[in-house]
Chain A
Amino acid sequence: KQEVTQIPAALSVPEGENLVLNCSFTDSAIYNLQWFRQDPGKGLTSLLLIQSSQREQTSGRLNASLDKSSGRSTLYIAASQPGDSATYLCAVRSLNAGGTSYGKLTFGQGTILTVHP
């Protein structure tokens, strides 16, 4: 059974800092890994998707890396801004039983990020 852990559970930083959010998973047989942000009372917004064959993805100030062998992914946010304040969630899509397609999705508990001016 896939288990996903996110560290830290909460993080408070001053504006302008670079920061790293961590996600670890127990089963390396994954199809892909996706990072989301969620604002209070809202749905999830996709940030970055990393396929199992990829090592990293970048979008603007965000960079996500994937190391399947160690069961880890990191989300790097450069030059943080107050608008980045949200809960960040990591979701791991496992392979199906036959290893041929995608299976279930497992979410971490999230990291609550607060960026203060």
Chain B
Amino acid sequence: KAGVTQTPRYLIKTRGQQVTLSCSPISGHRSVSWYQQTPGQGLQFLFEYFSETQRNKGNFPGRFSGRQFSNSRSEMNVSTLELGDSALYLCASSLKSTGELFFGEGSRLTVL
């Protein structure tokens, strides 16, 4: 059974640009959540989707947005990139019944 797949794994952007990250959950998982990990702030929750609906949202500015498609795949978008957005962005999927999270390897974003 394939795990959670995130693309791209690495990317470099410049300030002011925007970026879109993709996440394919484990087959059968309909819940997808996103996290930002930085050395200073640790792991912080961005948002969570279930059946194409956003269920929970963290405390991030509106530049961070996401969506989920009918096949449960999810994308997150960050607009007007800032240097502080440099981070490892992690996606996780879960079964609603247990809530156990399974993480992908992450997308490492560097903003120059």
> Residues of A at under 8 Å CB distance from B?
31-32, 34, 36, 41-46, 49, 51, 89, 91, 93, 96, 102-110
Q: Is the CB of B99 within 8 A of A32?
A: yes
- What band does the interface of chain B fall in when counting residues whose beta carbon is under 8 Å from A? 20 to 34
- Among the stretches B61-69, B79-87, B100-108, the one at the interface with A is B100-108
Contacts of A44 in B (CB 8 A): 90, 92, 101, 103
Question: Known interface pairs A107-B43, A110-B42. Does A49 touch B90 (Cβ–Cβ under 8 Å)?
Answer: no
Interface membership of B8, Cβ < 8 A: no
7 residue pairs from A and B, CB less than 8 Å apart:
A36-B103, A41-B108, A42-B106, A44-B92, A51-B98, A105-B45, A107-B42
* Interface secondary structure of B, over-half rule: strand
A89 to B103, CA, bound (A): 13
Question: Known interface pairs A43-B104, A43-B106, A44-B90. Does A102 touch B43 (Cβ–Cβ under 8 Å)?
Answer: no
Contacts of A103 in B (CB 8 A): 56
> Residues of B at under 8 Å CB distance from A?
4, 33, 35, 42-45, 48, 56, 58, 88, 90, 92, 98-106, 108
Q: Is the CB of B58 within 8 A of A104?
A: yes
Q: Is the CB of B45 within 8 A of A104?
A: yes
Q: Is the CB of A105 within 8 A of B33?
A: yes
In the complex, the 7 A-B pairs of residues with the closest C-beta atoms, listed nearest first: A107-B43, A44-B103, A43-B103, A43-B105, A49-B100, A109-B42, A102-B99
A93 to B101, CA, bound (A): 10
Q: Is the CB of B100 within 8 A of A34?
A: yes
A44 to B37, CA, bound (A): 11
Give the Cβ gap from A78 to chain B, nearest Cβ, in Å: 23
Name the one of B33, B43, B105 contacting A42, with C-beta atoms under 8 angstroms: B105
